[in-house]
């Protein structure tokens, strides 16, 4: 039996990253309590673009039917959903199930409003550990990822061929920088990425940060300085445009699909767009500093169960969650949400049988890392803000990479120590 007393919800600005087409009008509704057997169970998710009657909405409802209940689904945009969930916990009106952007799981778990997977009796043994870690706090798991997306490096095959660059040779920073030198010497543009002063800037910088061996608890480490120096030097040398300072992930993609750039850092959600371009595209994993694959941050949602006063409801909640997280269910989610990669080996194998062209993305997700992993929890948004501020400062020339990151570490330490 789950019995918890909620702590006061944190006053935290959750750095929520909207990945994919999450824009739209949010729904409205209240979580209501009914008998545990039969009746209505409430479900909130961040997919207002998937309206009633859509494949997603029908699938959610089908899992309710399988569990013997009707699901009342309400959709909010990502940030509004987190705020609404915190408010509902205060008012005692939490829904039975919430799908949360993975960095928000720790924030809500820290308030005491979420049940753990152990408390619900959910089996997470088949979930990839690197993906499950994004929903972990103090050694406890607070949900199951329904899939994950991440970043990789798209390339323009025509430009690379003209410049004599083999994409398979790009397995280190040195190899990538050499390729940028060749494509710019051939009259093309090099690489575009998002260095904007929002969570998207941190999201895109993290593969380079982690790929150098840096740690988010020490922003001014020599490894972190190497990563920011890499980006800063690319801008100085003209391998990356000045626009990266203000680029969002969407504007970065718009630059890449002009056909002028050899490389563009972007995510799984651009697979269909890349395939539809007038020039041939390919994708490679983001390289670590010396060799191998850099861990890229994971995007995607976790299915979570808020604490309920009526503990008899959990049995049915578990049935609904189990239904949504079968191997086949993970593949359905992957197809519905522009190729979310399933979080289990079995689901990934099934997806690759249908879409063998996604092999690079499956590999990238297997190497990926949650932003709140390493038990950062609610410290992550505070650290991330200082990280993107340092990136801005260095790319603009306002400070050296070393000085920018030293200031970031000082500010992050003050913010996290003073919570």
Report d(CA 351, CA 332) in Å as an integer: 9
Q: Tell me which H or E stretch contains 72.
A: strand 70-75
Cα separation, 350 vs 353, in Å, equals: 5
Q: Is 223 in a helix, a strand, or coil? A: helix
What would the DSSP string read from start to end of 110-134? HTT-B--HHHHT---TTB-HHHHGG
Q: What is the pTM of this model?
A: 0.87
SS3 100: strand
The domains located in the chain, with CATH, are 40-148+300-366 (3.40.190.10), 151-296+376-417 (3.40.190.10)
Please, which pLDDT band fits residue 16 given cuts at 50, 70 and 90? very low
Measured N-to-C along each axis, helices 380-395 and 222-236 cross at an angle, to the nearest 10 degrees, of: 40
pLDDT given for residue 419 in this prediction: 58
- CA 36 distance to own-chain centroid: 33
37/287 Cα distance (integer angstroms): 51
What is the rounded distance in angstroms from the CA atom of residue 123 to the CA atom of residue 201? 35
| Pairwise pLDDT comparison (91 vs 336), residue with the higher score | 91
pLDDT at 375 over 50: yes
Q: How many CB atoms neighbour CB 415 within 10 A?
A: 15
- Which residues contact residue 410 at a Cβ distance below 8 angstroms, ignoring those fewer than 6 apart? none
Q: Would the pLDDT of 122 be above 70? A: yes
């Amino acid at each position: 039996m789950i019995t918890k007393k909620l702590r006061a919800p944190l006053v935290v600005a959750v750095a929520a990253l909207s990945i994919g087409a999450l824009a739209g009008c949010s729904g409205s509704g209240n979580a209501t309590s009914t008998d545990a057997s039969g009746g209505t169970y409430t479900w909130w998710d961040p997919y207002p673009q998937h309206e009633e009657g859509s494949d997603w909405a029908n699938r959610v409802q089908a899992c309710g039917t399988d569990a013997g209940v009707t699901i009342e689904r309400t959709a909010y945009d990502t940030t509004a959903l987190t705020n609404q969930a915190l408010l509902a916990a205060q008012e005692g009106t939490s829904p039975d199930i919430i799908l949360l952007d993975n960095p928000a799981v720790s924030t809500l778990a820290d308030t005491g409003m979420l049940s753990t997977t152990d408390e619900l009796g959910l089996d997470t043994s088949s979930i990839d550990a690197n993906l499950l870690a994004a929903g972990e706090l103090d050694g406890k798991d607070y949900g199951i990822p329904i899939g994950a997306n991440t970043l990789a490096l798209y390339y323009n095959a025509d430009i690379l061929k003209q410049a004599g660059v083999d994409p398979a040779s790009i397995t280190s920073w040195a190899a990538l920088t050499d390729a940028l030198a060749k494509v710019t010497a051939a009259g093309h543009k090099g690489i575009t990425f998002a260095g904007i002063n929002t969570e998207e800037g941190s999201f895109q910088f993290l593969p380079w940060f982690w790929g150098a061996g840096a740690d988010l608890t020490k922003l001014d480490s020599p490894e972190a300085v190497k990563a920011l120096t890499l980006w800063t030097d690319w801008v100085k040398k003209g391998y990356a445009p000045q626009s990266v300072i203000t680029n969002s992930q969407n504007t970065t993609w718009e630059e890449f699909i002009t056909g002028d750039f050899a490389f563009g850092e972007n995510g799984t959600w651009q697979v269909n767009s890349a395939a539809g371009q007038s020039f041939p595209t390919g994708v490679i994993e983001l390289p670590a500093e010396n060799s191998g694959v850099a861990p890229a941050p994971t995007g995607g949602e976790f299915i979570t169960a808020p604490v309920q006063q009526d503990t008899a409801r959990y049995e049915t909640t578990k049935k609904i969650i189990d239904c949504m997280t079968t191997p086949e269910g993970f593949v359905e989610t992957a197809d519905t949400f522009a190729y979310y990669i399933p979080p289990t080996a079995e689901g990934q194998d099934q997806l690759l049988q249908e879409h063998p062209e996604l092999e690079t993305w499956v590999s990238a997700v297997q190497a990926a890392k949650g932003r709140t992993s390493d038990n950062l929890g609610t410290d992550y948004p505070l650290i991330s803000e200082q990280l993107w501020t340092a990136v801005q400062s260095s790319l603009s020339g306002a400070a050296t990479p070393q000085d920018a990151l030293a200031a970031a570490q000082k500010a992050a330490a003050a913010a996290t120590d003073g919570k």
